Amino acid sequence: MVTNPNLVNATAGQRLAARAVDSVPLVVLALVAVLVPGRLAVGLCAAGAAAYLAWTWLWEAGSGQTPGNRVLGLRTVNEDGLAPGFAAVLVRNLLLAVSALTVVGPWIMTVSNLWDHPTRRQGWHDKAARTLVVDIRAGRDPLLTGGRWAGAAAPAPVPAAVPAPTAAPATGWVPGPSTPAPAAPAGPAAPISSVPGVGAAATQTAVSSAAPEEEEDVELTRIVSRGQGTGCRLVFDDGAAVRVTGTALLGRNPAPAIGEKVNQLIDFADMGRSVSKTHLHLQSDGSTGLWITDRGSTNGSSIVAPDGRHEALAAHSPVLAPSGSTVYFGDRHFTVG
In the predicted structure, residue 217 carries a pLDDT above the cut 90: no
What number is the average pLDDT over the span 103-129?
Answer: 85
Q: Hey, how many other C-beta atoms are within 10 angstroms of the C-beta on 177?
A: 27
Contact in structure between 290 and 282 (CB atoms under 8 Å): yes
DSSP result, 84-115 = --HHHHHHHHHHHHHHTTSTTHHHHHHTGGGG
Which residue ranges form the domains of the chain, and what is each CATH number?
12-149 (no CATH), 158-336 (2.60.200.20)
**pLDDT value at residue 32:** 94
In the predicted structure, residue 337 carries a pLDDT above the cut 70: yes
Q: Tell me the CA distances in angstroms from 178 to 127, 174, 195, one per residue in order.
A: 50, 9, 11
* Highest-pLDDT range among 66-75, 168-177, 287-296, 300-309: 66-75
In the predicted structure, residue 87 carries a pLDDT above the cut 90: yes
Element (H, E) at 329: strand 326-329
Contact in structure between 244 and 211 (CB atoms under 8 Å): no
User: Per DSSP, which regions of 96-206 are E strands?
Assistant: 131-135
Mean pLDDT of the chain: 77
Q: What is the pLDDT of residues 179-189, one digit of tens each?
A: 444 444 444 44
Q: Which position has the higher pLDDT, 237 or 29?
A: 29
Q: Which of 18-27, 249-258, 279-288, 292-301 has the lowest mean pLDDT?
A: 279-288
Which phi and psi angles does 36 have, rounded to 5°? -95, 120
Residues in Cβ contact with 37 at an 8 Å cutoff, skipping those fewer than 6 apart: none
In the predicted structure, residue 280 carries a pLDDT above the cut 60: yes
Beta bridge partners of 296: none
**pLDDT value at residue 119:** 66
What number is the average pLDDT over the span 321-328?
Answer: 93
Sheet containing strand 319-322, edge to edge, reads 264-267, 247-251, 280-285, 289-294, 319-322
Could you tell me the pTM of the whole model?
Answer: 0.48
What number is the average pLDDT over the span 135-148?
Answer: 81
Contact in structure between 221 and 170 (CB atoms under 8 Å): yes
